[in-house]
Amino acid sequence: MPVDERLARSVALEQAYVHDVYEEFYDNPRSKPWVKVEEFLNELEPGSIICDVGCGNGKYLNVNTSIFNIGGEKSNRLSEVAREKENEVIVLDNLALPFRDESLDAVLSIAVVHHLATTERRICALKELARVLRIGGRIIISVWAMEQSHRRFESQDVLVPWRRPRHISTPSLELTSTTTNSEDDGQPAYHAYTQTSDSDSTRSMKSKGSTFRKKGKTRTKGRSIDPGRSSSQSSSSLSSPNETCYSFVRRAIQKLAGSRRVGAHRPWFLESWTNCAKEPQPKKYDLNGCDCCDCMENAQDIPIELRRIDDEELPQRRQTFPSSQLINEIAHLKSRSMTNMKAAEETTASEAENQSNPTVKNNDIPPEELSLPPPKTTLKPKPKLVKQKKSMCEEDADEALDQPTDMENLVHLPELRTSLGRLQRGSVLKQRSLNEELMSTDRMQEKEKLRRNIQKQASLNEDLIYQRSHAFDNFKDSLFYVSTSKRFQLIKTGFTNKFKNSTTNIEKVTGSSLKNGFVRIFQNWKSADLISPTIPEDEPLENLKLPSAPSVDDKKESDGERRPSKEDGSDSSKDSSLQSDTSVDSEDSFASVIFVPKSDPMSPTNFSPGPTSPRLKTSSVPNSPRIKQSSCPTSPRIKQTPLMVYPLTKQQSSPKPSTESLIDKSERDHIIEETVPKDPSKTLVQKYSVPQIPKFIRTSLNTPSTNITPPSPEKPLVPAAPSSLDVETRNERLKKIKELLNQKPELSSKKSKFPIVRQTSVTNGKVEAIAKPLPKLLTLELFNPETDDKDSDSSCVSSPDSVDSVISINRERKSQANLPFKFPATNDKRHAKMSLLEAAADVAHTLDEAVDKVIKSSPRRKAMLKTGDVLSILQRRYSADTTPLLGEECAENWDEDCTKHLTDFADKLSEKLLQEIDQYQVKTRLCNSNYNFDDPYISRLSEELDDLSKLSAEIQKQNEYLSKLSDSDKLLGKKPAKCKPSECECVRTRNVNEVNNAKPSVVDSECSGHRGGGSNHNGEESVRSTSRPCGGSAEGEVGVLSKMSSSTKPTIRLGTSSDSCDSEKGSSTNSMVSSVATSINFGPSIESNDGYSGESHKDTNSMSRHSDGGSTASLNSFPDWKAARRPDSKAESTLSLDSPRRQETKGLISETSEDSLPTDNMGGEITYHRYYHVFREGELDQLIEKYVENLHIISSYYDHASWCIIAEKVHVWTI
Amino acid sequence: MKLLTHNMLTSKCMKGVSVGYPLAINALDVRVSEVDFNPEFIARMIPKLDWNVLYGAAESIGQLKDLPRDIIENFESNEDFLKKVHHVLMEVDIINGDLICPETGRKFPINNGIPNMLLNEDEV
């Protein structure tokens, strides 16, 4: 390798893995000056001029004030930090010190030389240090030791992962340090290398040549370093006497890392050294260079790969695999953090168990998702190599911090950090830490899942290798390859097994908390039901009956209570689809999976506020990723990746259409059959037992089906075998649509009724009685969103346990109460039979108002608005109700021109969105002024605002497109137009519901994210705490806005889809396009304007780097979105039944959604890697003796995991 | 950056620069802050200094005050002289400006009191 290239590589390596990392260095107040260095400084005579080359934050610049301390640092940021302490600081490079020759009385080089990538450069640095030192001046040099008591390096060139130091107070550290380190640290540093010893060593080197290594071992033994440690580079002694509980984990990781390295790694170092010793210096130098090359290659290859991996596969970075592994192992360790971790995992598992109990397909799916988090942990090991390295690095990193206590800390820290580090925080900062950790873990898991999807095949093998729980493997496999129903079944079985296994564990640990949360949720639901029993009675009973008839799933769900309710609410379509063809099932399964996670995640998110809540979040987050994964496997298409962001949006949008048309089909199928059983006199008990929301949905579906589609009997078949029935379903749909068009007044009235119902219901809980009339399609649609919302709300309610969530819980509860009322209202509305146009107008108004209210409410929330939130929610609903009236009036005029109405509606929405955005911006500004936001956060908000504006623009475009479509529809017939409005209404209603629901949830999630960020930045916590509410509200608003936009988009899509139905061939393609567009829109709305996953990734990454909190917040918000959208996705699945093409699009969407999810995950912590060349014992001494002749080593010792040398500059010729 | 530091700085590591000393000072922002006077410290520091360079630097930034052109005899016991030196060495801080290589004219920016002496790859 040419010298130039080598140099360039080394420079690039150092830049990337040393200088760039230190630019991000977080001033660690914990780092204290080493005693030895302090002694060195204090021994200097007054008036000395010294330079600390690599002063970092300048901790050695104030030790001795009787001397003139100059701090030299290459990192601009660190130099600023040191400068702030009124130190004299120079930005310099150790390789080109800007000092005159022999101008300094003393030089410090603490933990610097080991960052240089080649021996050549290390020598150059030492020579440069000696150059500026006056004759008789002293220098102290410390470099990281390869022979460390608590970590073993497979190679001398390592990339050490490094996270921003967290202030982890681990009392146990001392113990470990005493036990393991006592020898090294406790005893006074042995001056292993006086010159005599050095000379001896060199002699021995020369004489024995290749036996250097052996000698090293012997030395180490003699010198109180664990023989096990020093002796084995490649071979780690599994059973070393000194192992601590953590050590075995570390060793395992090292082994994994080492095994790969070992193969390529050879004892080059020894050989090179021996050669060097034998040969004259010039040649030696060259040889060293060659060695360096090897080193470089080793170091570079691995590090570079790591970096790439990190960039591409962020999951690895964030929560390095070691953590995942460690979690399991740590679990055995009896530490609070461990328990916490387990509890969190278990909670998820317990949830899964609870859900799984029903053992219905639907139920099973959710449990799978729930259970996934644990599997993820198991899966994590896959990336082993990198991860292991990271883990190694992490440990090293801790030590690298140059903290005197590092050794001790390191021992504990590596383990704690990897697995529990976050958890420990959690113990300290309980909730925050848990949330963050969970989030991060979830993200990691999601990332891993993505990888798996990409690498599909490998995952299985890896899993086997790691021999994690079999159930997990099954889950993984099933999840990854979910495409087929078979796999689902396998997954189910696996989940059940897992649950059984996990349940035992989970139950032990945190099952109680989860159970409590569930119980609360149920109670909430029940309460809600009680509140609005009248309405539910009629329809819910019917629904209950119907669900039972269509599939055992419903019953099972009901048994499962929580999940069933959740699933039922959104899953009515899902169930049908699932039951239907396997091919369809794949999509359905995705949808269902997605949906299930929603409920779970929603509840967890709601719970999240408390310690339990973080767990829930994690579970929820993992669920979403899982969902993504599941969808991804089914749709590995490349297209999906670009669309990634869209998938979610698509799902939502698709669900909406599905709810509209599909619901008619699928739901009708189920419902129609079931509708017959409708009896207002249904038992309340059934209603209560079964999730109310789902019931409503079903009932509504039933009613619409009965009303609209006589062909419904056929339709039910369709859901079962959508693929075969697709054509039929389409035809049926067309017929239905035609019928609807013919019946327009009725349908419109029905649809309008629904919105009206809402108004009435919202405004008047009393209307419930009126609701008795058969709910129609519209009601169904409305119910779906509401049910979804309710689910989330209920979950939120259950969460009250969690401290953080208390506020959100209250909100949610209130919203829940409102929701039940809404349902009855919807029924009433049905009676009222409003024109579709009116209904659409109403919906639009309600949406707009809701958004406005949300925005308004957000500030309130900021100001501790528990009550205010509730009020705001109520107001929103009321406003929505009131507004619809206005819209109705307008609608009356528009009845004739549905298309016009749609366009107007879209315009209004867009306008309102714009206004809202403006308001939001103003608010954010105010918030900023009021609260000290972190700059990154503000920038992020501004970005979001920009995105929103873009979204609004897109929405307008879509509206235009819709108008065009409506025109075309007119040509075809008014029918499509009607369908569109109905869809729009549905979407709108959903949007409203979503907005209402999403606001609290999003806010909560964001808050949690902020919390996480705060925890990350301990110093900034206070500031963030203030900013959190604002940020959360602001983000929540943004989310709402984005949801609004998304909702509007889906409506647009629906219109297109309906058109496509009308003209199956061409229209289908159109719908596809439209769906894509919508999906794109969503993508931007979620992360940033562009549906450009790549950019979004970057944004998220950058965001995460700039402000961890911000990124986490965004991430948190995403899962919520997902959850909210899941029902939509289900609806989409139903739609997919209607049109296989749509299914494809959906699949794409799902894939894209999966992609987007990982991007979301990206937001987590970033682990930096620092390059180290760890020095063997005596290596530094030899370097100095061989190449820096004018330095005379006075003492050499081992301290703080480092080899330290104190040398004095002498006249060479004098010697 | 204090003038004491400047007294140590050189650009000799640059390619083609043999001495690179003293660096010219283009001070845009100079801050004078009071620093505790330590006669012993100053007395010990004076022998380490290149007095001419210090004098020129102080002159170039207008902080010469009454600093003598040459080191006086028995400065250790001349507290007045030591205080003058103390002022120049310790109390004058160049916050913003440039250090200029006398041979190549290469500018090393001083920002926030921190001189950036980093060299580009092609300058070493």
User: What is the pLDDT confidence band of residue A631, given thresholds at 50, 70 and 90?
Assistant: very low
- Who has greater pLDDT, A471 or A234? A471
What value does the mean pLDDT take over residues A859-873? 43
Residue B91 gets which letter from DSSP? Answer: I
Report the distance separating Cα A75 and Cα A91, nearest Å: 7
Q: How far is CA A110 from CA A59, A163, A401, in A?
A: 11, 20, 11
What value does the mean pLDDT take over residues A192-199? 32
- Residue-wise pLDDT tens digits, B15-29: 999 999 999 999 999
The DSSP H or E segment spanning A1206 is strand A1202-1209
pLDDT at A252: 58
Which of A294-298, A833-837, A1087-1091, A1191-1195 ranks highest by mean pLDDT?
Answer: A1191-1195
B43 and A47 in contact by Cβ < 8 A?
A: yes
Report the distance separating Cα A486 and Cα A492, nearest Å: 10
pLDDT at B52: 92
Tell me: do A1082 and A1181 sit in the same domain: no
Mutate to test the interface with B, among A99, A101, A120 (most CBs of B within 10 A): A99
For the cut 80, the answer to whether the pLDDT of residue A765 exceeds it is no
Q: Is residue A1048 part of a domain?
A: yes
* Residue B29, domain extent: 3-116
Considering only CB atoms, which residues of chain B are within 8 Å of chain A? Answer: 1-2, 4-5, 8-14, 21, 38, 40-45, 48, 108, 112-119, 121, 124
For the cut 80, the answer to whether the pLDDT of residue A60 exceeds it is yes
The set of residues, in sequence order, having a beta carbon less than 8 Å from that of A409 and lying 6+ positions away, is: A168, A170, A173, A177, A398, A399, A403
3-state SS, residue A216: helix
For the cut 80, the answer to whether the pLDDT of residue A138 exceeds it is yes
Tell me: do A1155 and A1196 sit in the same domain: no
Q: Which residues of chain B make contact with A80, given a CB cutoff of 8 A?
A: 112, 114
Tell me: do A874 and A752 sit in the same domain: yes
- List the CATH number of the domain containing B72: 2.20.25.10
Residue A211 gets which letter from DSSP? Answer: G
The DSSP H or E segment spanning A1173 is strand A1168-1173
User: What is the pLDDT confidence band of residue A108, given thresholds at 50, 70 and 90?
Assistant: very high
Percent of chain A exceeding pLDDT 70 equals 19
Alpha helices of A608-710 — where are they, by DSSP H?
A: 612-634, 640-643, 645-653, 655-657, 673-675, 684-689, 692-708
B9 and A49 in contact by Cβ < 8 A?
A: no
What value does the mean pLDDT take over residues A183-195? 31
Q: Which long-range contacts (CB under 8 A, 24 or more apart) does A727-734 make?
A: A729/A665, A729/A1137, A729/A1138, A730/A1061, A730/A1064, A730/A1138, A730/A1139, A732/A665, A733/A661, A733/A664, A733/A665, A733/A1061, A733/A1138, A734/A1061, A734/A1062, A734/A1064
User: Where are any strands of DSSP class E within B1-124?
Assistant: 24-32, 92-100, 107-111, 114-115
For the cut 60, the answer to whether the pLDDT of residue A676 exceeds it is no
Nearest-CB residue to B117 (from A46, A98, A104): A98
For the cut 80, the answer to whether the pLDDT of residue A417 exceeds it is no
Asked if A994 and A1124 count as a contact pair (C-beta separation under 8 A), the reply is yes
For the cut 80, the answer to whether the pLDDT of residue A137 exceeds it is yes
Report the distance separating Cα B105 and Cα B117, nearest Å: 13
For the cut 90, the answer to whether the pLDDT of residue A503 exceeds it is no
What value does the mean pLDDT take over residues A873-878? 46
Mutate to test the interface with B, among A9, A14, A103 (most CBs of B within 10 A): A103
Report the distance separating Cα A817 and Cα A523, nearest Å: 12
Q: Is residue B124 part of a domain?
A: no
Q: Is residue A163 part of a domain?
A: no
For the cut 60, the answer to whether the pLDDT of residue A33 exceeds it is yes
Q: How many CA atoms lie within 13 A of A149 on its CB side?
A: 29
* Residue A108, domain extent: 3-145+188-223+266-312+1175-1209
Q: Which residues of chain A make contact with B40, given a CB cutoff of 8 A?
A: 46-47
Q: What is the mean pLDDT of chain A?
A: 51
Asked if A183 and A149 count as a contact pair (C-beta separation under 8 A), the reply is yes
B1 and A90 in contact by Cβ < 8 A?
A: yes
Give residue B44's identity as a one-letter amino acid code. Answer: R
The set of residues, in sequence order, having a beta carbon less than 8 Å from that of B120 and lying 6+ positions away, is: none
A209, two tokens: 């040549």
For the cut 60, the answer to whether the pLDDT of residue A37 exceeds it is yes
Tell me: do A1199 and A1057 sit in the same domain: no
User: What is the pLDDT confidence band of residue A911, given thresholds at 50, 70 and 90?
Assistant: confident
Return the ∠ at Cα A974 (arms to A972 and A976), rounded to 5°: 75
Q: What's the number of domains chain A is made of?
A: 2
A1066, two tokens: 């061409």
pLDDT at A1151: 39
User: What would you report as the CA-atom Rg of chain B, rounded to the nearest whole angstrom?
Assistant: 15
Report the distance separating Cα B67 and Cα B63, nearest Å: 9
B112 and A66 in contact by Cβ < 8 A?
A: no
Give me the numbers of helices (H) and strands (E) for chain A, helices first please.
52, 9
Report the distance separating Cα B61 and Cα B25, nearest Å: 7
Which region among A178-192, A414-428, A601-615, A1183-1197 has the lowest average model confidence (pLDDT)? A178-192
Tell me: do A691 and A734 sit in the same domain: yes
User: What is the pLDDT confidence band of residue A739, given thresholds at 50, 70 and 90?
Assistant: low
Nearest-CB residue to B5 (from A11, A47, A90): A90
pLDDT at A845: 63
B40 and A91 in contact by Cβ < 8 A?
A: no
For the cut 70, the answer to whether the pLDDT of residue A559 exceeds it is no
Report the distance separating Cα A681 and Cα A698, nearest Å: 16
User: What is the pLDDT confidence band of residue A114, given thresholds at 50, 70 and 90?
Assistant: very high
For the cut 90, the answer to whether the pLDDT of residue A463 exceeds it is no
Residue in A35, A43, A64, A54 with CA at minimum distance from that of residue A189: A35
Q: What's the number of domains chain B is made of?
A: 1
pLDDT at B113: 93
Tell me: do A808 and A923 sit in the same domain: yes
Tell me: do A1035 and A959 sit in the same domain: yes
User: What is the pLDDT confidence band of residue A496, given thresholds at 50, 70 and 90?
Assistant: low
- Residue-wise pLDDT tens digits, A1037-1084: 434 344 444 443 333 333 333 333 333 343 333 434 333 333 333 333
CB atoms within 10 A of CB A977: 29
User: CA of B109: which chain A residue's CA is closest?
Assistant: A91
Asked if B48 and A103 count as a contact pair (C-beta separation under 8 A), the reply is yes
A814, two tokens: 């209130």
Q: Is residue B96 part of a domain?
A: yes
pLDDT at A4: 81
User: CA of B89: which chain A residue's CA is closest?
Assistant: A68
Mutate to test the interface with B, among A52, A62, A67, A90 (most CBs of B within 10 A): A90
Q: What is the pTM of this model?
A: 0.37
A105 and B48 in contact by Cβ < 8 A?
A: yes
- Alpha carbon dihedral A697, A698, A702, A704, in 10-degree steps, equals 20
Q: Which long-range contacts (CB under 8 A, 24 or more apart) does A451-456 make?
A: A451/A313, A451/A315, A451/A382, A451/A383, A452/A379, A452/A382, A452/A476, A452/A480, A452/A629, A453/A480, A453/A629, A453/A632, A453/A633, A453/A636, A453/A1154, A456/A480, A456/A481, A456/A633, A456/A636
User: What is the pLDDT confidence band of residue A800, given thresholds at 50, 70 and 90?
Assistant: very low
What value does the mean pLDDT take over residues A148-170? 68
For the cut 90, the answer to whether the pLDDT of residue A1204 exceeds it is yes
For the cut 70, the answer to whether the pLDDT of residue A147 exceeds it is yes
Q: Is residue A338 part of a domain?
A: no
Tell me: do A101 and A11 sit in the same domain: yes
Q: Is residue B122 part of a domain?
A: no
Q: Is residue B88 part of a domain?
A: yes
Tell me: do A728 and A595 sit in the same domain: yes
Which region among A501-515, A906-920, B53-67 has the lowest average model confidence (pLDDT)? A501-515
Q: How far is CA A1021 from CA A160, A1008, A1014, A1178, in A?
A: 27, 12, 4, 44
Q: Count of A–B CB contacts within 8 Å?
A: 81
- Residue-wise pLDDT tens digits, A919-977: 766 665 555 444 444 455 666 666 766 777 777 777 777 767 766 665 554 544 444 33
The set of residues, in sequence order, having a beta carbon less than 8 Å from that of A196 and lying 6+ positions away, is: none
Nearest-CB residue to A91 (from B4, B14, B114): B114
Q: Is residue A549 part of a domain?
A: yes
User: CA of B40: which chain A residue's CA is closest?
Assistant: A47
Asked if A954 and A1084 count as a contact pair (C-beta separation under 8 A), the reply is yes
User: What is the pLDDT confidence band of residue B104, given thresholds at 50, 70 and 90?
Assistant: very high
3-state helix, strand, coil in chain B (%, to 5): 35, 25, 45
- Who has greater pLDDT, A1004 or A9? A9
Q: Residue A336, exposed/middle/buried by CB under 10 A (0-12, 13-18, 19+)?
A: middle
Q: Is residue A45 part of a domain?
A: yes
- The region that residue A138 occupies, defined by phi over 0 for left and psi between -120 and 50 for alpha, beta otherwise, is beta
User: What is the pLDDT confidence band of residue B64, given thresholds at 50, 70 and 90?
Assistant: confident
For the cut 50, the answer to whether the pLDDT of residue A378 exceeds it is no
Q: Is residue A33 part of a domain?
A: yes
- Residue-wise pLDDT tens digits, A66-88: 999 999 999 988 899 899 988 99
Which of A52-61, A479-488, A490-499, A803-812 ranks highest by mean pLDDT?
Answer: A52-61
Tell me: do A1181 and A1134 sit in the same domain: no
A66 and B43 in contact by Cβ < 8 A?
A: no
pLDDT at A427: 42
Q: Is residue A713 part of a domain?
A: yes
- Who has greater pLDDT, A284 or A892? A892
Q: Which residues of chain A make contact with B2, given a CB cutoff of 8 A?
A: 88
- Residue-wise pLDDT tens digits, A821-850: 344 433 444 444 445 556 556 655 666 565
Asked if A683 and A735 count as a contact pair (C-beta separation under 8 A), the reply is no
Q: Is residue A561 part of a domain?
A: yes
User: CA of B123: which chain A residue's CA is closest?
Assistant: A96
A971, two tokens: 């040509």
Nearest-CB residue to A83 (from B8, B112, B118): B112
Q: Is residue B121 part of a domain?
A: no
- List the CATH number of the domain containing A137: 3.40.50.150
Tell me: do A1152 and A1179 sit in the same domain: no
What value does the mean pLDDT take over residues A1146-1159? 38
Which of A120-129, A707-716, A783-792, A877-886 ranks highest by mean pLDDT?
Answer: A120-129
Tell me: do A38 and A78 sit in the same domain: yes
Q: Is residue B123 part of a domain?
A: no
